[in-house]
Amino acid sequence: MSIQYILELIGTVVFAMSGALAVSEKDKEQDWFGAGFTGFVTAIGGGSLRDIMLGSYPLVWIQDVTVLYTIIAAIVCSGLFYKWMLQLRRTFLLFDTLGISIFTIVGMEKALSLGASPEIAAIMGMFSAVMGGVIRDMLTNEVPVLFRQEIYASACLLGAGFYLGLEYLEVERNVNFIASVSLIIVIRLVAVRYNLSLPKFNRLR
């Protein structure tokens, strides 16, 4: 079992948990199927969209049943321990941040392995990271975080660009991976802590 495969499973777990916890926070009466479905599409949404756009078939979760079992286990754990998880400070934010950080780099590496240019690979990495969360927010009747005044997708792009820069400098892959994931986490958490956002887009009048 490779390190990348383990990291992909970790990313899948945290995204599935973030989706299930989002339902728990939004609707205390939501049943297991609703929470499970939201957790499932949050976990596979971004990666599936990436693979469809890159023409990579079969999709990862269809090809590897371990991914499906991992999602189910993450959702069950979220349901059994969700009261404890929700009591932790910023648990949802930390899960989401860890998920987008891992999936940005994993998604970009997959795009590169399929022959995509560095620019396209960076965009595919961002899609892998954020689209699951967009679907999650839509299902829970929230404004998708992508469209809020927060540094979110841009943090993923910065991390992807940082990875490509270190790769150009021939930095060892595992060191590069950890450094790039850590950069995304730091950017995202600092932005939330200090309420940082990108300049507003104003139409010309």
Identify whether 118 is preceded by a cis peptide bond (ω within 30 of 0): no
pLDDT at 205 over 60: no
pLDDT at 53 over 80: yes
Q: Give the mean pLDDT of 179-199.
A: 91
Average pLDDT, the chain: 88
Q: Give the mean pLDDT of 131-152.
A: 86
pLDDT at 87 over 70: no
* Per-residue model confidence (pLDDT) at position 159: 97
Q: Give the mean pLDDT of 99-126.
A: 95
* Per-residue model confidence (pLDDT) at position 184: 97
* Per-residue model confidence (pLDDT) at position 90: 63
Q: Which helix (H) or strand (E) holds 87?
A: helix 65-87
Which of 91, 93, 71 is closest to 12 using CA atoms? 71
Q: Give the mean pLDDT of 48-68.
A: 94
* pTM as predicted: 0.86
pLDDT band for position 101 (cuts 50, 70, 90): very high
pLDDT band for position 26 (cuts 50, 70, 90): low
Pairwise CA distance, residues 160 & 22, whole Å? 27
